[in-house]
Amino acid sequence: MSRIIHRREFLRITAPVIPLGLAACGWDGGKRLQPLFDKVIDANNRAGERLLAIRHAEVNPLQLEHGQMPAYFISEGMPLLKDPAAWRLEVGGLVRKPTQFTPEMLAALPHLNYSITHHCVEGWSVVKRWGGVPFTMIGALVEPKPEAKYVQFDSFDSDYMNGWDIESAMHPQTILADSFEGKPITPAHGAPLRLYSPIKLGYKLTKYLTRVTFTDKKPGGYWEDRGYPWFGGL
Amino acid sequence: MDAPSPQPPAAVVRHGPLVRITHWLNAVFLAGMIGSGLQIYTAYAHFGYHGETFNVPNPIDGSRMAVPHAIKLGGWLAGGLRWHFTLAWPFVLTGLAYVLFLLFSGEWRALLFRPSDVPGAWQMTRYYLRLRKDHPPQGKHNPLQKSAYTFAIVLAVLSILSGFAIAKPVQLGFLTDLFGGYEWARYWHMVAVWTFTAFIIAHVVMVFVADPGSFRAIITGRYRGKFVERPRA
């Protein structure tokens, strides 16, 4: 008698588990769940924004490095400028003084250097040295208007771009980087200029910059539009 | 003449609705967290700085193939992240509801493993190792069960804290540092979840091998199994 009960009990357990097994197999949740995921990620974003003002990423004072930083781009080949001397950084949008920065103008501005931990959304980290113009300096020069809540960063790497909240862009550790590991930045890492900040994941750090636009409309982003968290904060 | 079969014991109320609901909700949420967590893990199926070896045991080190597709939830990294960050909140809240219930109802007394439980846990171990023939008398849970159920809560807390340490290594840097930094926090997160999985397997096996009546009890609330509860002396 007790054996039969055991078998029935066993079936009663496995039955509900089977749909769970079927539900995995890489299921992304289907169309109905995506808006729910978006809402939750949005709420997580807002919680992150509230914490942002308090924290700086810890700087590595000994300038140690760890790990290997891979090259990253979405074009078929490494994005290379045909005429590097002709490259300019256009900064405009909702600003009082739209400015076209030449490499010489940027080189002359005060630079911030740090050795800091970099995080990729894939789950790995490295510790590397970066140097560049603090974005707050760019902001001081172009004078964004009060309505500007977002910043869009455009790249010459195919259609790669990112949209940021202005607070993170103006974080003291956010820089437009032109040096990596103490040397001028190479095409493998986003030359001639790339965004760097230790408070956001790597996919938010636009490489191969061409244009910066201050805006009041929330921009998307290459990976953000494909389901990755828009805020991407650490 | 055969002895008459014994009457089944009278049903005893064993698990209230809150225990049963949180148990099954978190069983589902945890399955989703582990499935989506494995999806996330396979985006970089190693530990340590990128390109460096990290000398820790990792049976699933390797490529995307390190974990079978059948048990991953999400389809790709973004899909896994969306599931993981969405299920995390109900998982935490359900767990919190359970822990608060334990504290405020006094039910923690039936569950919490204390130093006085060590001799009893040893006796239970001797019984399972067949070093003693008779099952030691027990209340609702024997001391070995208490150690498992207490440890499960500790594991859940460690899984959650290490998860936050990975997700916010700057905003919650003090927490990440407690785990030894980001790379260690990521490893401890995995270790906690592996250990949790081992607990779940042992738990399900024990339900069927030792006391199948407990399975009905965690659904209906009423226990009619072979371990008659003895009032605590």
* pLDDT tens digit sequence for A44-61: 877 766 665 567 888 887
Structure confidence by residue, pLDDT tens digits, B156-187: 999 999 999 999 999 899 999 999 999 999 99
Report d(CA B88, CA A96) in Å as an integer: 44
CB contact under 8 A, A24 and B183: no
Which of A25-29, A50-54, A176-180 reaches the highest mean pLDDT? Answer: A176-180
Shared domain check, A195 and A104? yes
Shared domain check, A124 and A96? yes
Dihedral sign (CA A101, A105, A111, A113): positive
Please count the other Cβ atoms lying within 10 Å of the Cβ belonging to residue B59: 7
- Domain range spanning residue A16? 1-42
Shared domain check, A119 and A33? no
- Report chain B residues whose CB lies below 8 A from the CB of A10: 208
CB-defined contacts A:B, below 8 A: 139
Three-class DSSP category at B22: helix
Shared domain check, A18 and A105? no
The nearest alpha carbon in chain B to A59 belongs to B170
Please count the other Cβ atoms lying within 10 Å of the Cβ belonging to residue B122: 13
In a domain, residue A47? The reply is no
Shared domain check, A188 and A92? yes
Shared domain check, A139 and A203? yes
pLDDT exceeds 60 at position B32: yes
In a domain, residue A141? The reply is yes
Give the CATH number for residue A131. Answer: 3.90.420.10
In a domain, residue A78? The reply is no
Shared domain check, A133 and A25? no
Shared domain check, A110 and A13? no
Shared domain check, A104 and A11? no
Number of domains chain A contains: 2
Instruction: Kindly list the strands in the beta sheet with A99-101, ordered across the sheet, starting from the edge strand earlier in the chain.
Output: A99-101, A89-93, A209-215, A150-155, A161-165
Q: Give the percent of chain B with pLDDT over 70.
A: 92
pLDDT exceeds 50 at position A21: no
CATH of domain B12-223: 1.20.950.20
In a domain, residue A48? The reply is no
Domain residue ranges of chain B, discontinuous segments joined by +: 12-223
pLDDT exceeds 90 at position B82: yes
Structure confidence at residue B233 as a pLDDT band (50, 70, 90)? very low
Report d(CA B36, CA B78) in Å as an integer: 10
In a domain, residue A213? The reply is yes
The nearest alpha carbon in chain A to B204 belongs to A13
Three-class DSSP category at A223: coil
pLDDT of A9 reads 59
The nearest alpha carbon in chain A to B83 belongs to A37
Three-class DSSP category at B149: helix
Shared domain check, A63 and A4? no
pLDDT of A55 reads 78
pLDDT of B149 reads 93
Which A residues, 78 through 117, put their C-beta within 8 Å of a C-beta on chain B?
117
Shared domain check, A91 and A18? no
Shared domain check, A97 and A10? no
Q: Is the minimum CB–CB distance between A12 and chain B shorter than 8 Å?
A: yes
In a domain, residue A232? The reply is no
